[in-house]
Structure formats: C-alpha cells, structure tokens
Amino acid sequence: MRIDSRKLSRLNLTEVRPEGWMKRQLEIQMNGLSGILYEMWDSVGSYSGWLGGTGESWERAPYYLDGLIPLSYYLKDEKRWDICMRFVEWTLNSQTEDGNFGPVTTRSDYWSRYAMLKVLIQYYEITGDERVLPFEKNYFAYVLREVKNRPLVNWSRARVPDLLYCMKWVYEKTGDESILQMAREIDGHSLDWISFMDILPFPRPTSYYMTWENIENINHNELDKIVPFHATHIVNVTMGLKHPALHQYFFGDIDGADITRRGIEQLEHYHGTASGCINGDEHLSGPDPRQGAELCSVVEYMFSLSVMLEIFGDTALADKLEKLAYNALPATITEDYMAHQYLQQANQVQADIRKRPWYNNRNDASIFGLEPNFGCCTANMHQGWPKMINALWYKEGEDTLVSMVFAPSRVETVIGGGRVCVSLKTEYPFKDTLRYCFGCVPPEKLTMKVRVPVWCKQPEVKCPGAEIAQDENGMIVITKVFCEGDEIWIRFPMEVVFSHWYKDSVAVERGPLVYGLDIKERFEVIKEVAGVKDYCVYAESDWNYALSLQNEIKVEESELEAVPFNKKRPPVRIHMKGKKVPSWKLENGNTTEIPDKQEIVGDTGDVSLIPFGCTNLRISQFPWY
C-alpha cells in the first residue's frame, strides 16, 4: 500500500512567473546560447534525431528542451517556442504500438526517453495537451515488458529516479492505481541509491578505487560488472539523490528524509566545496578545492533538491538549492550566457588548456566556451534558472501558501476556494529584504508561510493586523484576511560568517552567498565557431592571500545592475584584512596545496571579496590566521 508522505504540493508551472532581476537573468540566457543553439549547434539543430534527422539522437535535444520550453514560456518568446514544438510534435508522433518512442537509431536506449518524458511534463503543464498522459503511461508499460529480456544497465539503470519522478507526476494527474505497481517494479531495477546515501560507499576520490588508465579501454556496456563506474559518476549521483524521496513517496517503507540528510552530509564532508557543489571531474573527486565540479551536476542537483523539497518539506533543502543557484550556477557561465565551463573549481586561478588532475576529463574542461570537454553541459545547462522558478512557491494543505525559495516572482493560484495573487519584490540574495505585495485575495483568512534561512538568527516581520507566529520547523506563519494592496515586509539580517572546509580552509559567507577573491582577469580567445568564442582566462592580479578572522569587516552594497551577477560592478563587496602567502604558488594552472598557518607571514593589507557567482577566477577557500 502506498503512503503519500508529501509535505508540500508543487504549483503548476504556469502559476509562478519570474520578475525583477530573475526575469532579467532569463532574458540574458535567451539572448545567449539558449536562444541560438538550434541555429548554430548541430547536436540540437534541424538534423537532430529527435526531429527524424540523422544527427545526435540521444540525450542532447531532450536536455536542451528541458530548459528551453519553460524559458520560452516565461519570456513569451514565440520563435523559440515554435522550435520547441517541432521537437514535441515529432516526439508525440513517434510512439509505436509497443509504447516506445524517439529516434530509431537509439530505440534500444531507455535513459534518453526518461529525459524527454520530463520535457513533456513541462509542455503539458503549459498546454494541457491530452496526448501526453497516455503517451507517458504507454512508455512505462513498455519498459516493464522490455526489461524482462533487456535489463536496465549503465545510464538507464543509474537514472531510474528520473523515470520514477515522471511516474509520480502521471499518477498525481490521473490517480491511476496501476502506476503504483509499475513504480514498484521499476524501482527494483534501479541502481540502489538508497543504500548509497545511507552509508556512502566512496568516501575517497574515485581514483583511490579505480584508475582511469586501467578501465578506459573496457567495453562501456560491461563497466558496471567490473568497477563502480556509474555509482561514482557525479551527474548520476546528483540525479540519484532524489531516489530515497521518490521511494518513500510511492511505498512509505523507509525514512527517506533521514537517509537523504545523511547522504548529503556524507557527500558534502567527503566531496563538498563551499559553493554547494559536490566535486566530480567526471567522478567523485574529494573535497580539494582544486578539483572540478561538472556543470551538469549543478543543474541536476538543483532539480533533485526541488523534488526532495516537495516530498519532505525540509527547509534545509531550500538553503542548499539557493546556495547552488546563487553561487555555483552563475560562476560557471559567462555574464552574457555565451560561454560556459564543463568544470568549475572552488579555487580557480587559471582556466586554460593544460593537464590538470581531473579523473577522466580532457585538458580543456575548465575553459569557457561552446563545448569544452563534452557537449552534455552545452545541452543541459539551460534548465538551471527556468526550472528553479517552479521551486519558489508551494502549497501546504488546502489553505496555506508557502514561500520557500526566494527570488523576485509572482504567484497566482487558488487557495481555500479563492484566487490569490502575490508578488515578491526583492533583490535577494544580494540584499536582505523581502516585500510581499497582494493583488487578488480570497475572502476568507489566508495563511502564508515563509522559510527562515538557516543562516538567519533574528528575522524581522511586519504585517499590520496579522497573526504572526513560527511553526515547529521555524517557518514564519502569517494569517490574516488580506485585502488587495496589503504587504508583508520581512528582513533577514545577513551577517558575515566563516565556514571551514578542506585543510581547514575558510570560506566567507553572507546570507546565501559565498564570496571569492576579486581577481583581475584576462580573457584570451583561442577559438571561434559561428560567432561563439572559446576562452582561456588568466589572473592579472595576486591571488595568494590568507584572511584574518579577527579584524573589522566592511560590507559595501551597490545598486543592482541589469546584469545581476556582474563582475565589474558587483552588487556587494566585502572588505577585510589579509596577508599575501609567497609559498602559495601557481603550478600547472592550479594553486599548490593550501598552506599551513606557519607559512602565513608578512604585512597585512586590504582584501576585496565579491559574490562567487560574479567571478570567473577566484579563491573561495582561503588559508587563515
């Protein structure tokens, strides 16, 4: 028997819209690679196998559409929406009598179909196209019949949680009880991420367990029989994080929230960095800030967190989602959204083509460009901002609206039988104030909950005439018969704090933002394809500083620019004292090991830090004295 343990209800995609700086960020994205890839990158262009052509026929078009569909909808971009519809129509018309669908050349693949099912979920929520629900259910039935003779392996086995997510969605739309039995059978074919999260089997970098040189020539279809290739692959891990939540949703026989909490704690302890990333270059690679974190893993971790947030209602997951979105995501993509890295580093002082200690990525993995190392991130990075919009607001029960993740936005939905419209006007995460402005309101009392971030000690709340309390989870609870024009004003004072990481390094944090050293940067063009440039980036100023933890810290806030994560004019700066460390040097494009405290000598000077998301080069995990 299924036990539905959902704490929150996700709103339909059309009920939340971006505003303010978030909408501007989406516009920048559309004016960048998201808006031009179809015309200039063959992997998702008119020759795509997902349009019946002879081009790439696996995951890249589904990845791309997973971001482009909501992006086109939010911005009312008819040109890009029409491009999306070509893929959607071809896909819906490609399903055969047995339930399979997609390009003929990859008909034996399961994983790319999971990805396209996620695309169709967003398409349905925008259009209500009645073909989608039976289409998805037919594919579920196809998989169950097929796996008896052709088991799930490799990517398809590791990424079963994405298929379970689609089954959850269809079940909630249809109430079809047969999907519960399907889910139970499908779950049994998944790589066991639940045991993985319960006791992390890989607390060391993957190189400790298997060297790439010894396995790179093994037939990839046989890899999982010999080595834990897919269980250590960073994108699989971040996708697999939602497995305990989905298993609990369907079956209720585990404490998925506790397993997830332990799993994330272990991954952060053994492989985490200050920006919220789990290091993986291509596989779990330890907590050293010189190792890389793949862009695909950032956006997939964000999506997994939003799924877990709905099921568990755990506010700590919202804190982690904000940290990734407001630090790691913008840091690995240029301001104009015209170039990205495959791998970002927490301590990154040079991004060029030279041999780095990656596990099995190429030497160009850290440059900024169209397709560094491998094209999966070029296709997949587009989902980050658009899909986050759907994680900003939730419902709890029949009469409670929940503001969980903070960004300027507008929600319009039905609560307690009446319509409610609320706009959140804010420059969060750069500034500390939230202002909720009510438009249409229901006639009865409305309860609204607002998450209190884990870093905030003393929130300030003003809402005249309202009952204001905090629930058992520490959320602010505001109840009132609201009138049009009413406002809720909330301030989360942001203190500068230090967190400790690898080799007892420290990161500087203020609110949800991590700060990096403001390094003068030089971009050098090394290649250009169809107007899109690949760049190496070099430091033109000193970076080898240690921070004093005992001195006056000055926070300087500026007006938010049209480009939110702005390198030249960042919205916030932190000024503090530091010392240069001559023994901390550049070696093969990376820093040498973080120095010990006895190496920190010399004169004290001023150090300027800016938001991690505003940097292309950075030190974010510092030695200290």
Indicate if 515 and 585 belong to the same structural domain. Answer: yes
pLDDT score, position 2: 42
pLDDT score, position 597: 86
Indicate if 438 and 550 belong to the same structural domain. Answer: no
Structure pTM? 0.97
Indicate if 182 and 38 belong to the same structural domain. Answer: yes
Indicate if 530 and 458 belong to the same structural domain. Answer: no
- Position 599 confidence tier, pLDDT thresholds 50, 70, 90: confident
CB atoms within 10 A of CB 397: 12
Plot region of 504 (φ>0 → left; ψ -120 to 50 → alpha; else → beta): left
User: Considering the domain boundaries, does residue 239 fall inside one?
Assistant: no
- Position 398 confidence tier, pLDDT thresholds 50, 70, 90: confident
Q: Show Cβ contacts of residue 590 under 8 Å, excluding neighbours closer than 6 positions.
A: 290, 345, 347, 349, 350, 356, 357
CATH number of the domain residue 481 falls in: 2.60.420
Indicate if 614 and 501 belong to the same structural domain. Answer: yes
Amino acid (one-letter) located at 589: G
Stretch 322-348: mean pLDDT, rounded?
98
pLDDT score, position 3: 43
Q: Show Cβ contacts of residue 100 under 8 Å, excluding neighbours closer than 6 positions.
A: 107, 113, 139, 142, 146
Q: What is the C-alpha to C-alpha distance for residues 93 and 87, in angstroms, rounded to an integer?
A: 10
Per-residue pLDDT of 556-569, as tens digits, reads 999 999 999 999 99
- pLDDT-above-70 percentage for the chain: 99
Indicate if 461 and 609 belong to the same structural domain. Answer: no
Stretch 414-423: mean pLDDT, rounded?
92
User: Considering the domain boundaries, does residue 324 fall inside one?
Assistant: no
Place of tokens 């700590």: 316
* Residue 137, domain extent: 32-190
User: Considering the domain boundaries, does residue 137 fall inside one?
Assistant: yes
pLDDT score, position 601: 86
CB 417 within 8 A of CB 442: yes
- Position 329 confidence tier, pLDDT thresholds 50, 70, 90: very high
Q: Which of 55, 51, 83 is closest to 68 using CA atoms?
A: 83
Indicate if 482 and 520 belong to the same structural domain. Answer: no
User: Considering the domain boundaries, does residue 435 fall inside one?
Assistant: yes
- Position 5 confidence tier, pLDDT thresholds 50, 70, 90: low
Per-residue pLDDT of 367-387, as tens digits, reads 999 999 999 999 999 999 999
Q: Which of 292, 296, 277 is closest to 367 using CA atoms?
A: 292
Per-residue pLDDT of 268-318, as tens digits, reads 999 999 999 999 999 999 999 999 999 999 999 999 999 999 999 999 999
CB 80 within 8 A of CB 35: yes
pLDDT score, position 226: 81
Over 160-226, what HEC string results? HHHHHHHHHHHHHHHCCCHHHHHHHHHHCCCCCHHHHHHCCCCCCCHHHCCCHHHHCCCCHHHHHHH
pLDDT score, position 227: 83
Structure-token pair, residue 137: 């259910």
Indicate if 549 and 612 belong to the same structural domain. Answer: yes
Structure-token pair, residue 201: 């089997």
Indicate if 46 and 91 belong to the same structural domain. Answer: yes
Average pLDDT, the chain: 96
DSSP H or E stretch at residue 141: helix 132-146
Q: What is the C-alpha to C-alpha distance for residues 120 and 89, in angstroms, rounded to an integer?
A: 10
User: Considering the domain boundaries, does residue 604 fall inside one?
Assistant: yes
Q: Which residues of 172-210 are buried (b: 16+ CB within 10 A; e: fewer)?
A: eeeeeeebeebbeebbebbbebbebbbebebeebbbeeb
Q: What is the DSSP letter of 594?
A: P
Indicate if 466 and 598 belong to the same structural domain. Answer: no
Q: Answer with the one of 491, 508, 527 that is the final residue of a domain.
A: 491
pLDDT score, position 74: 98
Indicate if 470 and 563 belong to the same structural domain. Answer: no
CB 456 within 8 A of CB 493: yes
Considering its fold, how many domains does the chain have in total?
Answer: 3
User: Considering the domain boundaries, does residue 624 fall inside one?
Assistant: no
Q: What is the C-alpha to C-alpha distance for residues 280 and 272, in angstroms, rounded to an integer?
A: 9
Q: Answer with the one of 456, 472, 491 that is the final residue of a domain.
A: 491
User: Considering the domain boundaries, does residue 286 fall inside one?
Assistant: no
Per-residue pLDDT of 441-477, as tens digits, reads 999 999 999 999 999 999 999 999 999 999 888 899 9
CB 554 within 8 A of CB 574: yes
Q: Could you tell me the CA-to-CA distances from 39 to 90, 119, 197 in Å, in that order?
A: 18, 20, 41
Q: Answer with the one of 491, 509, 527 that is the final residue of a domain.
A: 491
Q: What is the C-alpha to C-alpha distance for residues 331 and 325, in angstroms, rounded to an integer?
A: 10
HSE toward the beta carbon, residue 368, CA cutoff 13 A: 30
Q: Could you tell me the CA-to-CA distances from 116 to 10, 123, 136, 608, 619 in Å, in that order?
A: 20, 10, 10, 45, 38
Q: What is the C-alpha to C-alpha distance for residues 251 and 190, in angstroms, rounded to an integer?
A: 15
User: Considering the domain boundaries, does residue 147 fall inside one?
Assistant: yes
Q: What is the C-alpha to C-alpha distance for residues 285 and 7, in angstroms, rounded to an integer?
A: 34
| The pLDDT of residue 199 is above 50 | yes
Reduced to 3 states (helix: H, G, I; strand: E, B; else coil), residue 1 is coil
Q: What is the DSSP letter of 612?
A: G
Per-residue pLDDT of 8-57, as tens digits, reads 999 999 999 999 999 999 999 999 999 999 999 999 999 999 999 999 99
| The pLDDT of residue 412 is above 60 | yes
pLDDT score, position 6: 61
- Position 416 confidence tier, pLDDT thresholds 50, 70, 90: confident
Q: Which of 531, 517, 522, 520 is closest to 339 using CA atoms?
A: 531
Indicate if 525 and 481 belong to the same structural domain. Answer: no
Q: What is the C-alpha to C-alpha distance for residues 386 and 178, in angstroms, rounded to an integer?
A: 32
- pLDDT-above-90 percentage for the chain: 93
Q: What is the C-alpha to C-alpha distance for residues 564 and 391, in angstroms, rounded to an integer?
A: 20
Structure-token pair, residue 141: 């039935």
